A and B are shown apart, each in its own frame.
Chain A
């Protein structure tokens, strides 16, 4: 029994991620309420280059919304936009920041047809009927490779109020906060590290959070310097 446990411990110690820990960060807004959709980036003392995601990261358009609203990917990854609505969308990149002062890390636009399995004759919330098939781009899926770090705002030429956000991270350790304002990052190297936060609506940079990573999970919390606007839906 002890031999078994010792063996297990040795195994754990012997794996590549032996010197790695978990960091869990809870982000609250300035009023103390949980803040979802906050980008969290961790940089340990020994920085490392992010490697692209193994497969394309999917962002769908459903009900004239980008799902998910926020997508964080490592630099070099491919984004795949999939239109699931039964009407066209025209996805485009744009500047980020509450008043659009941060240039998009990557500029792109793509016309995406209504989803192929949809029944024709539907209308979108604005009463636009689906475009006749022959006028469309021929596809309801589009891909783009993001090879520069930074934020990219998402919009739609046809539906002006559609909003989304992409953040291209140049560190392998990143996450976004969930509905409860909680973000977890695993496999973080031991030692000192710094957490950088970013929210698309912030006017000023957030104060970074210093952590000390070890075998035992790190749990910490922080507060944003503002109260994000409630997002529709």
Chain B
């Protein structure tokens, strides 16, 4: 009985894996080059750790981040960056607009955050061209995030 179950289990696992595989095959025309260039999961985690440290220490950004759940935000950011860079992640949760509607965010704030991100990426030794590719994916979010002129 247990052998049958384990066989079934394995078959299910395989089936799921295959399904997941085909699902991924369908959506991956998804190119994960950028994701790999950023160091995949470990790289992004390291980046976000550094990013959060810098944000809290930055005189412009500190106020926005000091009262939030740092670990939660870091996890969200890792998932977000993983997704936009072509990695195997899917961000769940409120969209960008809703997530930021509770704060007044100006273009200056947005640009300041980008600067801090650039500093983090510099510190992680991420090449300039790779940095720009990531920024190019993130920049359009300004429309949903900036809510104050």
The answer to whether A and B touch directly, with their CB atoms under 8 angstroms apart, is no
A residues with CB within 8 A of B? none
B residues with CB within 8 A of A? none
